[in-house]
Amino acid sequence: MYKNKQLDEVKVFKDPVHRYVRVSDQVIWDLIATPEFQRLRRIKQLGTTYLTFHGAEHSRFNHSLGVYEIVRRMINKMESHEGWNKEERLVSLCAALLHDLGHGPFSHSFEKVFSLDHEHFTKKIILEDTNVHAVLSRVEPDFPIKVAQIIDKSYVDKLVVSMISSQIDADRMDYLLRDAYYTGVSYGQFDMERILRVMRPTEDQVVIKSTGMHAVEDYIMSRYQMYWQVYFHPVTRSAEVILTKIFHRVKHLYEKGYQFKMNPTPLLSFFRGEVKINDYLQLDESVINYYFQQWQHEDDEVLRDLSSRFVNRILFKYIEFKPEKHMDKYETLQNLFREAGIDPDYYLVIDSSSDLPYDVYRAGEERIPIYLQMPSGEEKELSTHSVIVEAITGKTREDHKIYFPIEKIKMIQDTKRKDEIIELLYYR
Ligand code: NI
């Protein structure tokens, strides 16, 4: 039976984070070989972060294999405990492997401008007429639906869902370790082996044996650190702002009937808002980067300038922005920019980041808290037991910045206006 078919020998991928990724199921091996999964090699895990941390060139392919490997190890550990249903093994591994399948190029900016959602596409690629779907339906006719349900968290077995998406899941553990490794920072580290050893299956989620609490504290702090030191790094956000504005500009020009020197054919269905699954799968970062190269030679000055900035890493500078304090200043700057012939919609941009490192359940939210299993067998929510976690529970940190092109400002002819802008930006 295809479902249980094992490879003649275990295939091993060398991985810098987990050392080895092991595949023994024919189904997993066949999924990895599909064009839809191979496409993930051409999408970076961290978008524009490589412009800040040059090592961060790893792809969604690496990460997806990593999440698969962690779930595989979790299952190996859990099989020795009561409460794990062996029937769920293959479907869990498939969901782990495929959970990010629908990510597009530079997902953050791209999804924002074209109102897309990668989870929606992940589901479509699993359920519609694709190679991935063909592999999954060979297992059982309703197997693709089960995989999609685990990913969108509607699956009946909540234990399985919690392994792939919860506040301590294989997805987060892989990306924290992997992103720390590839950026070269030292703060993403935590002892994953220890966490896997203390995980216990219960009916509706994975819980942590209380002796493993400190390893979990370390994991939560590493997440907290990574968000602020890496994911929300202002230089990365600057590149992200430029990307978003490029997509905005291209869409705007298309809507105005602008004649591009080279028609952006693969993007047309996105402009029109009628994206078919095949259009989506044609797109990856190599395609988009090619257009950025081309757009440096467009007649439209904004598109030309922004594209060239992205390609050559001439990023926007930034200053702190406090919404409750700096709104007037921002409006004055907008006017001065306009008077100087610099369009503030593209060149004076407020960008905000916020993160909630750990949260206990709040009504209406899907966040499931982490539970510790005490020696008595009773379960306690993590922040009631850990002082460190309690300190950051439910606390959102926010950061706002204004981004602007200093080179353009320095070139303003009217010295008085130029000085006024610089004074407002840096000294008031
Ligand atoms: Ni992921």
Q: How many CA atoms lie within 13 A of 62 on its CB side?
A: 23
68 C-alpha to ligand 1 centroid (Å): 10
Give me the DSSP letters along 17-59. TTEEEEEEEHHHHHHHTSHHHHGGGGSBTTGGGGGTSTT---B
- Say whether 210 sits in a helix, a strand or coil: helix
**What pLDDT is attached to residue 363?**
54
Give me the DSSP letters along 354-397. EE-SB----TT--PPPPEEE-TTS-EEEGGGT-HHHHHHBT--E
Give pairs for 372-379: CB < 8 Å, separation 24+.
372/207, 372/208, 372/209, 372/210, 372/213, 373/200, 373/202, 373/207, 373/208, 373/209, 373/210, 374/210, 375/210, 379/202, 379/207
CB contact at 8 A, 128 and 277: yes
From 180-184, 242-246, 287-291, 393-397, the region with the lowest mean pLDDT:
393-397
Query: What would the pLDDT profile of 138-171 be if each residue is shown by its tens digit?
Result: 999 999 999 999 999 999 999 999 999 988 999 9
Query: What would the pLDDT profile of 37-94 be if each residue is shown by its tens digit?
Result: 999 999 999 999 999 999 999 999 999 999 999 999 999 998 988 889 999 999 999 9
**C-alpha to C-alpha distance for 166 and 210, rounded to whole angstroms:** 18
**What pLDDT is attached to residue 425?**
93
Q: Is a pLDDT exceeding 90 seen at residue 396?
A: no
**What pLDDT is attached to residue 107?**
85
* Averaged pLDDT score across all residues of the chain: 94
pLDDT classification of 365: cutoffs 50, 70, 90? low
- Residues near 392 by Cβ (< 8 Å), separated by ≥ 6? 220, 224, 357, 358
From 267-276, 360-369, 409-418, the region with the lowest mean pLDDT:
360-369
Residue 254 CB neighbour total at 10 angstroms: 17
Q: Is a pLDDT exceeding 60 seen at residue 364?
A: no
Strands 206-209 and 379-381: unpaired
pLDDT classification of 366: cutoffs 50, 70, 90? low
166 C-alpha to ligand 1 centroid (Å): 12
Mean per-residue pLDDT for 410-424? 94
299 C-alpha to ligand 1 centroid (Å): 39
241 C-alpha to ligand 1 centroid (Å): 22
97 C-alpha to ligand 1 centroid (Å): 9
256 C-alpha to ligand 1 centroid (Å): 37
Top-confidence residue, 12 or 355: 12
**C-alpha to C-alpha distance for 173 and 261, rounded to whole angstroms:** 45
pLDDT classification of 358: cutoffs 50, 70, 90? confident
**What pLDDT is attached to residue 282?**
94
CB contact at 8 A, 29 and 214: no
Query: Among all chains, which residue has been given the structure tokens 């919690």?
Result: 162
pTM of the model: 0.95
CB contact at 8 A, 10 and 197: no
4 C-alpha to ligand 1 centroid (Å): 26
